[in-house]
Chains A and B, each alone.
Chain A
Amino acid sequence: MSLADRWNNYWFCPAPLFDLAVVRLALAGVHLLVLVFPYSLLTIPPVSMFEEVAGLPDSSYNPIVIVKLLSAPFGADWRPTADNLHLVHNVAIGAASLAFIGLATRLALLVTVACAFFIVGHSYSYGEYHHMETVPLLAMALLAFSPCNAKLSVDAWLRRRFGGAPAPTLHAMARWPLLMVAWLFSLIYMSAAVCKLGGGGLDWLNGYTLQAYMMQDALYWRTELGPIFAQEHTFMWLLGWFTLIFEGFFWIVLVRPRWGWLLALTGISFHLGIFMTMRAPFAMYLPAYAALIPWSEWFGKTRATS
């Protein structure tokens, strides 16, 4: 088998469209939730800072590449006002609603992601940046290039309503976006593990390290659970090992996709635990884990071809 055949078999092997649709619902749904209720999952949502950052002097504004690209039609020196940002936020709510219900789905996803890139990217153009939106936004951007509207969408209903053929159960373009989410998670977690070992060496696993981080964030965010767990040295020592093993070996999902649901469950527990003790708002990652779960098998739709 040639390399091209192997590549095509890996990325473009027919897979259930239903799985793709569930992932779209999860990602667009949670994104819509955060747009409408910013504090539901985020501690410092960009939407809460429009007036503040727009009021900063021009000298503090250093637009990142994605913001420069999206602002290009308005000229190189254009800087959005708070009103501009509110307008983009409203467009994002409309687009995310369409992406969720599946009407003009792929265009709606592209607009949703472009708005999010602009809003979040703008807030990161003043020096400080975070990571909590990266995986879900990249996943939604990739979904826009897939037949994610073939099932569980108004688009699919309209197609059937007006005499179009129903979508097939399996599709050659249904697998690559879900695999990409698994690849992104694997690379991101691996780089996080490498950074921890690079920054702290094996001392990162001494138990004191995680105690200090948990206590520091718990005191800052005034969580009730954080200080309770941070006092348990042995538990923190075990949790440190668990964290590095989880992050460093998440790539197992790429060679054992059947374990996806287990890793998804572990990852969801991991991030919820971090949120409850340290308020690190990685809950936005949770819908992306839907890409690791064989929904169609669970719902008895079909068995994915391997």
Chain B
Amino acid sequence: MTVPDPQPPRTRGAITTLIIGVLVMQVLTGFKVLCPPRKFEALQRFRVACAPTLWPFVDYNMYNGAHYPGWIGQKRSLIATLDDGTERVIEPEEVGLNAHDYRRWVIHKVMDGKEAAARDHLSRWSGPTARVTALRVDVEAWQLEDDGSLSELPVEHGTPLLLDGSRAR
């Protein structure tokens, strides 16, 4: 059977309104008509609804600046000093976290000297059973060079957060 169902004009009218409404909303938000960038001073009076006010209609201004040689990228890692003097990197998955939560809940807490929070996450570490005497955050960095290569910069060692030697398992 290939005959289409006849649609009453009212249905088409309603769908037409929906189509136009959705497309207009996407154009207004996507092209920042309702939220002109601040560099256009004369247009600031039209800055009435910036994202995410009208979500799920939003702009898509991610990754929108240019970068040049000299840019530096950093990677922060948590280093555990064990009671035998050896050091181990604690990876996010070893404390049951993804990279985002690892950074928020572990790296930042250790950098801020929050011993209780650090100890809490350390209790979930699936690493060696040796006792941890200190934690610190090391920063590895890479710099973008003129020839397009990424050169590794010296590692910055953070201030150790000394623990009392017991590992809260």
Contact = CB atoms under 8 A, between A and B. Distances in A.
B27 to A, nearest CB: 6
B21 to A, nearest CB: 11
Contacts, number: 173
Nearest to A150: B5
B4 A168 contact: yes
A150 to B, nearest CB: 9
Contacts of A117: 56
Given A64-B53, A131-B58, A187-B23, A219 B66 contact: no
Nearest to A184: B26
B53 to A, nearest CB: 6
Interface stretch (B7-15, B78-86, B157-165): B7-15
Contacts of A176: 15, 19
A176 B62 CA distance: 29
Interface in B20-77: 22-23, 26-27, 30-32, 37, 51-69, 71, 73-75
A44 B71 contact: no
A121 B55 contact: yes
A86 to B, nearest CB: 19
B73 A219 contact: yes
Contacts of A44: 98, 100
Given A129-B58, A187-B26, A230-B150, A12 B12 contact: yes
A212 B37 contact: no
Contact of B52 (A64, A168, A222): A64
Contact of A180 (B22, B52, B56, B71): B22
A71 interface: no
A15 B131 CA distance: 68
